Amino acid sequence: MKNYIIFTSILLMIGGMSLGLGSCNKKADTIAKVKVRDTSNALVSGARVILYGKSTLSPKKPVIRRDTAYTNSSGVAVFNYNDVYQTGQAGVAVLDISARKGDLTAEGIIKIEEELENTTTVFLQP
């Protein structure tokens, strides 16, 4: 009888641990990448890129979150939105882009979809 109780307890513990391990789904990264190019189509390093949302409510509400990054030597600014996306959520955001390097500026939009590497390109203009 004692062996039966010990054997049953071990089986229950193993079963419980396997159920716990099977339910762990690690979500993939939700990344936004903005490539910045100049008028000659060359990638621009060191450009400041700001991603921000605009309110769609009436009356307009101020937008709190603004993310800023600088382009790397490959001309790409990288933003991580893992903290914004929650598992099961449909879509993450559509954000406006503002880029600047010296006297050159660019604007655009990027749609950020969950668990993907979302990429767009903006072109700096005088």
Residue 106 is predicted with a pLDDT of: 98
Spell out the long-range contacts of 82-87 with Cβ–Cβ below 8 A and sequence spacing 24 or more: 82/27, 82/29, 82/30, 84/30, 85/27, 85/30, 85/114, 85/115, 87/25, 87/27
Nearest Cα to Cα of residue 65 among 57, 74, 53, 76: 53
Render pLDDT for 100-116 as a digit per residue (tens, 0 to 9).
999 999 999 999 888 89
Render pLDDT for 10-28 as a digit per residue (tens, 0 to 9).
666 676 665 555 445 677 8
Work out the pLDDT band at 33, boundaries 50, 70, 90. Answer: very high
Render pLDDT for 49-89 as a digit per residue (tens, 0 to 9).
999 987 777 776 666 678 999 999 999 999 998 887 666 66
Structural domain contains residue 12: no
Nearest Cα to Cα of residue 103 among 33, 44, 35, 41: 44
Structural domain of 102: 27-123
CATH of the domain at 65: 2.60.40.1120
Structural domain contains residue 10: no
What's the number of domains the chain is made of?
Answer: 1
Instruction: Tally the residues of the chain.
Output: 126
Structural domain contains residue 39: yes
- The 10 Å Cβ neighbour count of residue 34 is 26
